[in-house]
């Protein structure tokens, strides 16, 4: 059975259960972005440069996308528009989707580069929010033990960072720091800043200090 919080999320989500499921799919699909950026970003930007006859880097492309997200979100807020999968209160504040897009762009622009294809920090940060945020949301509906929920999230997060250490040359000691930071950043219920932002920006800020 869903708890009250779970039912409230379904009732406040455009599309009900289908809208909620769509939100989860969007979350998981975020994992494709670091692969596109770190593995194919230069090729994509070069191709687009030839198409529009204007030279720009992958960082320029991300900066353009960041500006576009903000502009579209401001227009959406001006007209009070909500789309399928959004929650009703997002008609009056920045949406989770916009926060996620903005934060991913900032992660690409500022995450330290290193390891395999330069992805050793940015990729595990984004993979963590893509997988762990939905995991936390769903387990809260069925599990009463906060400690167990946190433990499961930590196991999954640490697995992501350990695998990144193996395949991307991410420093292994970050496994002890980044997962707890990401989960702690998700936990507070902030009124205007979505956890799609905090789960990315807090570990990102930590990486800039530590690396």
DSSP-based three-state secondary structure for 163: helix
Output the CA torsion sign for 101, 57, 203, 154. Answer: positive
Is the predicted pLDDT of residue 180 greater than 70, yes or no? yes
The residue segments making up the domain with residue 200 are 4-210
The pLDDT tens digits of the residues spanning 78-113 come to: 999 998 888 888 999 999 999 999 999 999 999 999
Cα torsion at 198, 153, 161, 195 (round to 10°)? -10
The reply to whether the predicted model has a pTM over 0.85 is: yes
> How many domains does the chain divide into?
1
- Tell me, what's the pLDDT at 16? 85
Mean pLDDT calculated for residue range 107-132: 98
Is the predicted pLDDT of residue 36 greater than 50, yes or no? yes
CA distance 94 to 80: 11
Residue 24 neighbours by CB under 8 Å, 6+ apart: 134, 137, 138
How high is the mean pLDDT of the chain?
A: 92
- Tell me, what's the pLDDT at 19? 87
């Amino acid at each position: 059975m869903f708890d009250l919080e779970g039912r409230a999320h379904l009732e406040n989500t455009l599309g009900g259960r289908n809208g909620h499921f769509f939100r989860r799919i969007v979350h998981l699909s975020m994992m494709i972005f670091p692969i596109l950026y770190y593995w194919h970003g230069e090729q994509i930007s070069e191709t687009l440069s030839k198409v529009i006859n204007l030279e720009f880097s992958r960082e320029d492309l991300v900066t353009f996308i960041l500006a576009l997200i903000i502009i579209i979100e401001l227009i959406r807020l001006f007209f009070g528009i909500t789309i399928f999968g959004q929650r009703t209160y997002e008609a009056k504040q920045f949406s989770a989707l916009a926060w996620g897009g903005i934060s991913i762009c900032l992660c690409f622009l500022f995450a330290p580069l290193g390891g395999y294809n330069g992805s050793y920090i940015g990729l595990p940060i984004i993979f963590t929010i893509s997988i762990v945020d939905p995991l936390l949301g769903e387990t809260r509906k069925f599990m009463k033990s906060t400690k167990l929920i946190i433990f499961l999230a930590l196991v999954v997060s640490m697995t992501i960072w350990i695998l990144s250490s193996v395949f991307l040359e991410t420093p292994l000691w970050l496994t002890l720091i980044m997962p707890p930071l990401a989960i702690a950043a998700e936990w507070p219920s902030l009124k205007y800043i979505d956890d799609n932002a905090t789960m990315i920006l807090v570990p990102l800020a930590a990486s800039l200090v530590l690396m």
